[in-house]
């Protein structure tokens, strides 16, 4: 528990930093008034808007206002859609969660078993294959893989839809594209963690006691090897979101990534702000959950505290 | 006869000449790793392509020839040896564009990594060596940096600050500091705890001298390994940024921009985006191979992993 009591204030500090960067990013754009009202606005209109948005006040007052509003869920209205930015973000969020969740699931179903199996037979042909696959998966740009998938399965074979969201078939190509990198990462770390654990003394002890190989692997090795793998998966959430930005663009998937990219093109800053801020906060929250999981999985964390 | 003589000569002389210093042993082990060797060869090819003078390219990379649009690579039906890798939708020679583009992609990635590395090494060494408040503040800043989805932060910053080569390099480079700071801090902590550093301190060495003579040189190993992986990562990020239309301005070719160009002609000319895609793939693979090989050789812990059930 003491561990958590120390972590929570740290996270508050991190979120504070995130809010300053997000606030600063939008302030760097210069005067949002011209964007809001256009070049032809009258002096009175500009002055009125300025005091409405408190832009005539000192920066720290503006920041305090930004935080107050953000905590109430008010990130301003989208300049393009004339709707609250947060509402637009929340509307698009399920699509991204669906895509990222499917990709993560694929990564676990494929990555974990092949990584673990490779570690059990190091330097074998299968190990070489997994190492090659992992390196390949990490080296292919996601958007390029998406294009290849579109050429192959959409244009040539006409098997799967290549854009939009709807049926399960729509999910296959984007999820597989997004998962490729994650499969590689999971397989690589599962292999590494398993190899490391298998070299430990307690494994040798368990073997020396004459326990069956399967039991040593599952009960003694796997349980310990999963701890670093869980951490890596949690850290991958950020990569998943970045990957979603590109994958959603390639496959016209109506998620927050595509929303953000379009907002950046149209200089719709409230949307950019809400996307950056909320995804960063999500990432921080997921890391806290990982820490909790860590405490549950690894008694050493509790003792070492 | 001669061959035998030579073999004998090598066999007798070699142990004396090649005293197995740790460096030599590492180099030999590195070159035995087939993946690492392949990475070095690929990187050499890329370096030659990137440094190849523009005037010597088979065609000017930005010259369009509307009579030679969308010619497939020479190995495919309809291809011609004049354009070994084919042409794009404006009839520009893809081989020339790929070679010219290698320059931008590699330049952007390596310059950006340099910026991030300098910032990150400084932060990591200060945090690890000084500890205390500096450590707490710097590591929280690392957490803040890593909390942002990188690609989103980068494209948002480009949208705010505008486009251009210098801006792109700085925007790509700054976020890299966080990884460097974390790893350099950890390495500094372990080096600073070593006995020889204690000894140097006891002998009255100044702080600057301690850091310059004892800490920094020992950071070289983790630094080199991390840098190869970071360059690979930035190559991918730069290509994604270019693909989203926020990278280097056309007509200057960057591989990411070339993929984005080809995207609109994917049905008539699959090769236009496939070839630069393969280029990025090969470059990233080369750096990852080298990084993996270096880690296996230089990180003593990874030796232990070879003896398993």
Q: Which residue of B has its CA nearest to A22?
A: B153
pLDDT tens, residue by residue, A182-235: 999 899 888 988 888 887 888 888 888 877 777 777 777 888 788 778 877 877
**B259:A144 CB<8 A:** yes
Q: Are A266 and A196 in contact (CB under 8 A)?
A: no
What string of H, E and C letters represents the secondary structure of chain A? Answer: CHHHHHHHHHHHHHHHHHHHHHHHHHHCCCCHHHHHHCCCCCHHHHHHHHHHCCCCCCHHHHHHHHHHHHHCCCCCECCCCCCEHHHHHHHHHHHHHHHHHHHHHHHHHHHHHHHHHHHHCCCCHHHHHHHHHHHHHHHCCHHHHHHHHHHHHHHHCCCCCCCCCCCHHHHHHHHHHHHHHHHHHHHHHHHHHHHHHHCCHHHHHHHHCCCCHHHHHHHHHHHHHHHHHHHHHHHHHHHHHHHHHHHHHHCCCCCHHHHHHHHHHCCCHHHHHHHHHHHHHHHHHHHHHHHHHHHHHCHHHHHHC
| pLDDT at site A34 | 66
SS3 B71: coil
Give the B window 44-103 contacts with A, CB below 8 Å.
none
**B152:A276 CB<8 A:** yes
**B157:A119 CB<8 A:** no
Please determine, for residue A270, whether its predicted confidence score (pLDDT) is greater than 60.
yes
From the list B281, B289, B305, the residue facing A195 with the nearest CB is B305
**Contact residues on chain B for A123, CB-CB shorter than 8 A:** 306
| pLDDT at site B5 | 45
State pTM to two decimals.
0.84
SS3 B237: helix
**A276:B149 CB<8 A:** yes
Buried-exposed string A190-209: b where 16+ CB fall within 10 A, e elsewhere: bbbbbbbbbbeeebeebeee
Helices (H), chain B: 2-17, 22-32, 34-51, 94-130, 132-147, 150-161, 165-173, 177-192, 195-202, 207-209, 220-243, 255-263, 270-298, 301-304
ipTM comes to 0.82
| pLDDT at site B302 | 53
pLDDT tens, residue by residue, A274-297: 888 888 888 888 888 877 777 777
How many CB pairs below 8 Å do chains A and B form together? 156
Q: Six-digit token pair at A2?
A: 């003491």
Q: Which residue of A has its CA nearest to B270?
A: A151
Residue B140 makes CB contacts below 8 A (sequence gap 6+) with A10, A13, A14, A17
**A10:B140 CB<8 A:** yes
From the list B147, B157, B281, the residue facing A283 with the nearest CB is B147
Q: Which residue of A has its CA nearest to B148?
A: A280
**Contact residues on chain B for A249, CB-CB shorter than 8 A:** 244
**Contact residues on chain A for B281, CB-CB shorter than 8 A:** 136, 139-141, 144
pLDDT tens, residue by residue, A60-100: 888 888 888 888 888 888 877 888 989 999 999 999 999 99
**A276:B259 CB<8 A:** no
Give the B window 125-164 contacts with A, CB below 8 Å.
140-141, 143-144, 146-153, 155-157, 159-161
Q: Six-digit token pair at A283?
A: 């990432």
From the list A28, A196, A261, the residue facing B160 with the nearest CB is A28
Residue showing tokens 């997000």: A22
Q: B98 to each of A255, B87, B258, B260, B277, how far by Cα in Å? A: 33, 11, 9, 14, 10
Q: B253 to each of A270, B61, B111, B154, B259, how far by Cα in Å? A: 33, 8, 18, 20, 10
Is residue B112 within 8 angstroms of chain A, CB to CB?
no
| pLDDT at site B24 | 78
Count of Cβ atoms closer than 10 Å to residue B293 Cβ: 24
Give the A window 77-136 contacts with B, CB below 8 Å.
119-120, 122-123, 131, 135-136
SS3 B238: helix
Phi-psi region of A239 (alpha: psi -120 to 50; beta: other; left: phi over 0): alpha
**B156:A238 CB<8 A:** no
Of the candidates B219, B224, B226, the one whose C-alpha atom is nearest the C-alpha of residue B194 is B219
Distance of alpha carbon B63 from alpha carbon B59, whole angstroms: 7
**Termini Cα distance of chain A:** 9
**B155:A238 CB<8 A:** no
CA dihedral A78, A25, B153, A10 (to 10 degrees): -110
Q: Six-digit token pair at A68?
A: 């107050």
Per the DSSP assignment, residues forming a β-bridge with A84 are: A77
CA dihedral A292, A298, A299, A301 (to 10 degrees): -60
Total residue count of chain A as it appears in this document: 305
Q: Count Cα neighbours of A155 within 13 Å in the Cβ-side half-sphere.
A: 14
Task: Say what percent of chain A tops pLDDT 90.
Answer: 18
SS3 B93: strand
Which of the four pLDDT bands, split at 50, 70 and 90, describes residue A304? Answer: very low
Of the candidates B269, B273, B270, the one whose C-alpha atom is nearest the C-alpha of residue B261 is B273
| pLDDT at site B178 | 93
Per the DSSP assignment, residues forming a β-bridge with B83 are: B80
SS3 B251: coil
Kindly give the parts of chain B with pLDDT less than 70.
1-20, 299-309
Count of Cβ atoms closer than 10 Å to residue A115 Cβ: 26
Q: CA torsion sign, B36 to B41 to B46 to B51?
A: positive
**Residue range A123-133: mean pLDDT, rounded:** 88
**A276:B148 CB<8 A:** yes
């Amino acid at each position: 528990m003491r561990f958590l009591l120390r972590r929570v204030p740290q996270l508050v500090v991190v979120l504070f930093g995130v809010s300053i960067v997000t606030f600063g990013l939008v302030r760097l754009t210069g005067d949002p008034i011209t964007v809001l009202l256009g070049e032809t606005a009258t002096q009175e209109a500009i002055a009125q808007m300025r005091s409405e948005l408190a832009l005539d006040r000192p920066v720290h007052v503006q920041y305090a206002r930004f935080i107050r509003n953000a905590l109430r869920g008010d990130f301003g209205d989208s300049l393009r859609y004339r709707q609250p930015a947060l509402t637009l973000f929340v509307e698009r969020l399920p699509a991204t969660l669906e895509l990222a969740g499917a990709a993560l699931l694929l990564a676990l179903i494929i990555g974990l078993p092949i990584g673990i199996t490779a570690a059990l037979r190091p330097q074998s042909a299968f190990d070489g294959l997994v190492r090659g696959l992992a390196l390949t998966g990490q080296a292919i740009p996601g958007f390029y893989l998406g294009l290849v998938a579109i050429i192959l399965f959409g244009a040539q074979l006409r098997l799967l839809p290549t854009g939009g969201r709807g049926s399960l078939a729509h999910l296959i190509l984007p999820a597989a594209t997004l998962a490729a990198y994650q499969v590689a990462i999971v397989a690589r770390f599962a292999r590494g963690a398993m190899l490391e654990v298998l070299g430990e003394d307690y494994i040798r002890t368990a073997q020396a006691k004459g326990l069956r190989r399967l039991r040593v692997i599952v009960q003694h090795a796997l349980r310990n090897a999963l701890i670093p793998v869980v951490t890596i998966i949690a850290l991958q959430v950020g990569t998943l979101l970045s990957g979603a930005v590109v994958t959603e663009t390639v496959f016209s998937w109506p998620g927050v990534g595509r929303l953000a990219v379009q907002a950046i093109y149209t200089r719709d800053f409230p949307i950019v702000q809400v996307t950056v801020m909320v995804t960063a906060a999500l990432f921080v929250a997921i890391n806290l959950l990982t820490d909790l999981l860590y405490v549950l999985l690894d008694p050493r964390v509790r003792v070492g505290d | 006869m001669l061959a035998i003589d030579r073999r004998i000569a090598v066999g007798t002389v070699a142990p004396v000449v090649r005293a197995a210093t740790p460096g030599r042993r590492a180099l030999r082990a590195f070159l035995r790793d087939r993946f690492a060797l392949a990475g070095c060869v690929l990187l050499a090819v890329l370096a030659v392509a990137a440094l190849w003078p523009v005037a010597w390219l088979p065609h000017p990379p930005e010259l369009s020839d509307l009579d030679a649009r969308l010619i497939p690579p020479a190995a495919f039906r309809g291809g011609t040896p004049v354009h070994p890798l084919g042409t794009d939708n404006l009839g520009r020679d893809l081989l020339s564009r790929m070679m010219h583009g290698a320059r931008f992609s590699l330049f952007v990635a390596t310059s950006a990594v340099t910026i991030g590395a300098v910032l990150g090494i400084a932060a990591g060494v200060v945090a690890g060596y000084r500890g205390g408040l500096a450590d707490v503040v710097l590591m929280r800043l690392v957490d803040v940096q890593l909390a942002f989805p990188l690609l989103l932060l980068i494209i948002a910053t480009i949208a705010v600050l505008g486009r251009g080569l210098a801006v792109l390099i700085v925007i790509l480079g700054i976020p890299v500091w966080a990884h460097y700071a974390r790893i350099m801090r950890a390495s500094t902590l372990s080096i600073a705890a070593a006995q020889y550093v204690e000894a140097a301190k006891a002998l009255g060495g100044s702080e600057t001298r301690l850091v310059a003579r004892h800490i920094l040189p020992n950071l070289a190993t983790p630094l080199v390994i991390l840098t190869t992986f970071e360059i690979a990562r930035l190559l991918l990020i730069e290509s994604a940024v270019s693909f989203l239309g926020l990278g280097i301005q056309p007509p200057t070719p960057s591989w990411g921009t070339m993929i984005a160009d080809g995207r609109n002609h994917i049905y008539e000319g699959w090769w236009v985006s496939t070839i630069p895609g393969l280029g990025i793939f090969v470059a990233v693979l080369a750096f990852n191979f080298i990084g993996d090989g270096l880690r296996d050789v230089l990180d003593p812990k990874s030796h232990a992993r070879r003896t398993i059930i």
